[in-house]
Amino acid sequence: MDDNKTMKDFEHDIERSFKVLKEGDIIEVTIIGISDTEITVDLNYYTEGIIPLEECSNDPTFSIKNDVNIGDVVKAMVIDSENASGNVILSLKEANNILIWDELKEDYKAGTVFQVKLLEAVPSGVVGYVKGIRAFIPASQLALQYIEDTQSYVGMTVDAVIITVDAREHKLVLSAKTIEKERALAQKTQQIGRLAINSIVDGTVERIESYGAFINIGEGLTGLCHISQITNKFIKSPKEVLKLGDNVKAKIIQTEGDRISLSIKALMEDEPDKEAESYEIPDEYSVKDSSKDESPFAKLLKGVKL
């Protein structure tokens, strides 16, 4: 048993002695020690490897005490195959600069959401880091509305997704606006789902198009009253009946996803047709003598076979 163990150790030592590390090699190593200034790794080699603090990450928020742990298996690039102390010097960030782009491409396809701390304001945007790579968020992609004062966002942490990943140009662009839009839509859809069909709402006309009027019904919700649902009369344009700022009552007739369909006409259907009620029959077609149930028009039809 002991002889077998010794033989295995001997074979392992021989394997290490034949192993040759060259500058530029990217190898998998295990972290066996952490200090304030460096990480010590097991190379499965005749000597240990050292990763200096400055070779750990491009991300200025990186913490050697918090972001790595003993036992972690990481990939690092050999930048000095043997220094004056006989150690191999490696770089996590150089290996990351090469290997991480394939991973970032997969994150882009999957729509992975990252929490990004914004560290710097630059012309037309802000900068943070994702997986050790410098990432840019344009001002137009920071929020639902365009942000003029990007400096006010420095120090904030935002949720963002990748919208551009270019390994050749080392270009990584993110969007926080995309996440905000998705969340706003989900919230709006939930609100709409709670609306009751056939309920009556008060609203304000906020936009008029050729096909109908958009009515703000409160709580950030707007519904469309199609031109055919505005009035019982035929109209060529909603502007014949409505104007911007009008306060109206409408019935909710349908909800679908983030859409609300309204009807003003539905509230008029039970109202009596005043024009029909006030219509008077011309004298020439009315019965002069109520004792005779016959009008001039009835006489005209006498003898006519229908």
Confidence of residue 187 (pLDDT cuts 50, 70, 90): confident
pLDDT of residue 239: 95
Domains identified in the chain and CATH numbers: 9-94 (2.40.50.140), 106-181 (2.40.50.140), 196-267 (2.40.50.140)
pTM: 0.63
> What per-residue confidence (pLDDT) applies to 44?
85
Structure tokens that stand for 207 in this block = 């936009």
- pLDDT one-digit tens code per residue, 63-74: 999 999 999 999
- Look at residue 306 in the predicted model and tell me its pLDDT: 47
Q: Are 116 and 157 in contact (CB under 8 A)?
A: yes
- Give the pLDDT band of residue 181 (cuts 50, 70, 90): very high
pLDDT band for position 258 (cuts 50, 70, 90): confident
Give yes or no for residue 300 having a pLDDT over 90: no
Q: Which residues pair with residue 101 across a beta bridge?
A: none
Q: Which residues contact 294 (CB under 8 A, 6 or more apart)?
A: 287
200's CB contacts (< 8 A; 6+ apart) are 249, 250, 251, 252, 267
Question: What phi and psi values does residue 26 have, to the nearest 5 degrees?
Answer: -110, 120
Position 304 scores a pLDDT of 52
Nearest in space to 202 (alpha carbons), one of 243, 262, 258: 262
Predicted pLDDT of residue 276: 46
% of the chain beyond a pLDDT of 90:
65
Query: Is the pLDDT reported for residue 150 higher than 80?
Result: yes
Nearest to 233 by CA among 225, 224, 241: 241
Measured between alpha carbons, how far is residue 302 from residues 230, 294, 299 in Å? 45, 10, 5
